[in-house]
Chains A and B, each alone.
Chain A
């Protein structure tokens, strides 16, 4: 998918420039784009180094666990078909808490562990269970408190107030998450979960008696 998008952007650009008779633009834009890419990443170093230090503190202080406690009731509401003491619950909570703190690197492994645990409960190993779909919905909408990368990029281009987007981002991501949960609930009800058919006792046990 990404391969196709990338190639399409370049080729369409090439064709447009060629048709317009202004092919030089391609060379210029390509090298300018490359330069911007590097500049932006170098600008990211300062913020990422600092922020990942702070995030390490959050992790070691057990802040993820602290937030998990607050999120507990929400998660049991969202995952009614996962038993309360099942290990999946713990991983789901850690995944959500890490997402909230913006600990992307910690959130993904936790989410995958949660998926593996949910797979244990899943009767059909190739089809996603409702709980898996809910976990995915939460992760695609992922609420993040501080959009660090964006603040860094805005700083790079001399924004007067790089952090002014924190509030708007939080509102937008909150609305997107509510939409994801609502849509997930709606589909969950429509696709009533099919229980695996009850297998009748094999006839061969009867035939043994003669």
Chain B
């Protein structure tokens, strides 16, 4: 099972890089020209993130360097350590459903501080990659059609975030532990 998942990680990207252009070719898409056409958007997307990420990185960097982060998370450490869960991950669980760039900045900060191949780096990457920003999705989708009463939608979204957060930690401890 674990071997199989690691193999999936190794093969997923190469297979998509080979399969998608091949499939496009079979569908008679001019592959290289379309590729270049789409690739143009990548540059503006990356540049467009700069102000968001700089803003969030500054806030999170100040929050951490001042010792505030440690103060808020520190009391949970002994409890979480028993479960082998690094307490540094905890704030990500709160940030992830609320702000996409905020949690991306926090994940980046964790990867930078502890290294991408540390357990913290792996768990943070998995959490960040595995769910979308619930509050953002709710606002955009319901806002677009003028829904004011979302009924149980927020509860369902947050519940799935909590489950995803715990699952990400458990899966990483199992897979990389």
A interface residue numbers (CB < 8 A to B): 1-2, 5-6, 9-10, 12-17, 20, 22, 25-26, 28-30, 32-34, 36-38, 40-42, 44-45, 47-63, 105, 108, 111-112, 115-116, 118-119, 125-128, 132-133, 135-137, 139-142, 144-147, 149-151, 153-154, 157-173, 175-177, 179-180, 183-184, 187, 191
Q: Which of B54, B112, B161 contacts A34 (CB 8 A)?
A: B54
Cβ-defined contact, B108 with A146, below 8 A: no
Contact B66 A17 (CB under 8 A): yes
**Which one of B45, B65, B71, B137 has the highest number of Cβ atoms from chain A below 10 Å of its Cβ?**
B65
Report how far A10 CA is from B153 CA in the complex, Å.
31
Q: Does B167 contact A (CB under 8 A)?
A: yes
Contact A176 B130 (CB under 8 A): yes
**Is A176 a contact partner of B160 (Cβ separation < 8 A)?**
yes
CB distance from B25 to the nearest CB of A (A): 8
Inter-chain CA distance A56–B167, complex, in Å, is 32
Q: Quick check: B10 and A163 within 8 Å, CB to CB?
A: yes
* Interface assignment of B83: CB less than 8 Å from any CB of chain A: no
The residue in chain B whose Cβ has the minimal distance to the Cβ of A57 is B24
Q: Complex Cα distance A191/B153, Å? A: 12
Residues of B within 8 A of A132 (CB): 141-142, 147, 153
**Closest residue to B159 on the A side, CB-wise?**
A183
> CB distance A37 to B105 under 8 Å?
yes
Q: How far is the CB of B113 from chain A (nearest CB, A)?
A: 10
Instruction: For the complex formed, measure the closest distance between the CB of B21 and the CB atoms of chain A, giving whole angstroms.
Output: 6
Closest approach, in angstroms, between the C-beta of A37 and any C-beta of chain B?
Answer: 4
Residues in B whose Cβ lies below 8 Å from that of A162: 116
Can you list 13 residue pairs at the A/B interface with Cβ under 8 Å?
A14-B62, A14-B66, A17-B67, A57-B21, A60-B29, A61-B24, A112-B145, A137-B160, A140-B131, A144-B129, A145-B16, A165-B9, A183-B160
Evaluate whether A41 and B61 lie within 8 angstroms (CB atoms) in the complex, with A51-B42, A61-B20 already known: no
Name the residue of chain A whose CB is nearest to the CB of B30. Answer: A60
Q: Which residue of A44, A56, A191 has the most chain B CB atoms within 10 A of its CB atom?
A: A56
The reply to whether A191 and B163 contact each other, CB–CB distance below 8 Å, is no
Question: What's the nearest-Cβ distance from chain A to residue B69, in Å?
Answer: 9
A150-B107, A165-B129 known; A159 vs B20 contact (CB < 8 Å): no
